[in-house]
Amino acid sequence: MTQENSHILSANLTHLDREGQAQMVDVSEKTPTVRQAVAAAQVRMLPETFAAIQAGNAPKGDVLGTARLAGIMAAKQTANLIPLCHPLPLQKVEVLLTPDAQLPGYQIQATVKTKAETGVEMEALTAVSVAALTLYDMAKALEKSIQIESIQLISKTGGKSGDYYQ
């Protein structure tokens, strides 16, 4: 890439510097506003695995409680996991694991809220991802073919780019 092309490209992409190298965006001039993001995932498993988790009969113990706590902890660690994410003061992290007999499996939803200069989409997505991975880890002795599916942003509010609803 020529220097001229990288300058044009970096002018449009805030995560690239003048040489086209990845950089953390400077948000110091932005006004802190209330921002919230909701993300979702689903975990599909065999009916027998689902029944065992629902009955509290998983070999590693409290599958859902551990997955919920892992999701909350993961949201708080997002800046340590995703290279260009800003560390944010999180005011709310809620992770819900809802049984879904039709899958069979669990619907996972995370809501993350802050008052900051940048949004919390990555924190919500990280929360559902790690909650799903933890659910897998806690239940893998019952089934290795558990599937983690449909990790996605459901909504985000606040900030310059406006609101988003799926």
Beta-carbon contacts of residue 74 (< 8 Å; ≥ 6 apart): 81, 126, 127, 129, 130, 131
Tell me whether residue 122 is annotated as binding: yes
- Other Cβ atoms closer than 10 A to 134: 21
Count of residues in the chain: 166
Q: Is 7 annotated as a binding residue?
A: no
86 assigned ligand-binding residue = yes
* DSSP state, residue 90: E
- Asked if residue 84 belongs to a known ligand binding site, the reply is yes
**Catalytic site includes residue 17:** no
Region class of 20: left (phi > 0), else alpha (psi between -120 and 50), else beta:
left
Q: Kindly name the residue from 17, 62, 100, 137 that is annotated as catalytic.
A: 137
The catalytic site residues sit at 137
The binding site for substrate comprises 84-86, 122-123
